[in-house]
Amino acid sequence: MVTDNRNHFCIYCGAKLVPNQHFCTQCGKQVSHDFEEQTIPKPSQYEAEVEKIAQEYNVKQSRARELLEKLFDPSHMSYQKFTDAINRSNGLFDNQLAVARKMIELDDGNNEVVRRELEIKIKTLNTFIDKMEDLINELVIQLSSNKDDDADINNLFSELDNLIDSVKDY
């Protein structure tokens, strides 16, 4: 709380504070005049892990798209099917990533429920990476073998659809 008449500014957003103000009118954070009372939020232990997962997923989905371009002509039915699967996966991954990032904002290190839910989100995000890796591997096999057997591809589509459906249901 600001109690004197000097010019004070919010340490979080820089907005000007007035005497006896308890919360910043710009960012809504609680303000304090005494330096000892001010606490700097501790970053979540999960933040770096979630960002690493986001980067890894982006690399893998980009790699899958590159292989898709090499393997199929854009007019080919399998090209469209793979593209749709990647796009759906990206949409759900991005949604789960956004939720994980919001949960990280709530993580003060002391809330067991937030910690447990973040760990579940991280497992879910890693499952997307695993399935994208499976897709890459199948595309590499198809590219190197040039085989006409679509059973493995159809099986992979089924697994991707099951993952997407299970995340939607969750």
Residue-by-residue pLDDT tens, the chain, 170 positions: 444 445 577 877 888 888 778 888 888 888 765 544 445 566 788 999 999 999 999 999 999 999 888 888 889 888 888 899 899 999 999 999 999 999 998 888 888 999 999 999 999 999 999 999 988 888 888 777 755 556 666 777 677 777 777 766 65
The answer to whether 38 and 8 have CB atoms below 8 angstroms apart is: no
Give strand pairing partners of 30: 23
Task: Report phi then psi at 11, rounded to 5.
Answer: -75, -15
Evaluate whether 114 touches 106 at the Cβ level (below 8 Å).
yes
The rounded distance, in Å, linking the Cα atoms of 95 and 168 is 10
What is the enclosing helix (H) or strand (E) of 17? Answer: strand 16-17
- Please answer whether residues 101 and 49 qualify as being in contact, where contact means their C-beta atoms are separated by less than 8 angstroms: no
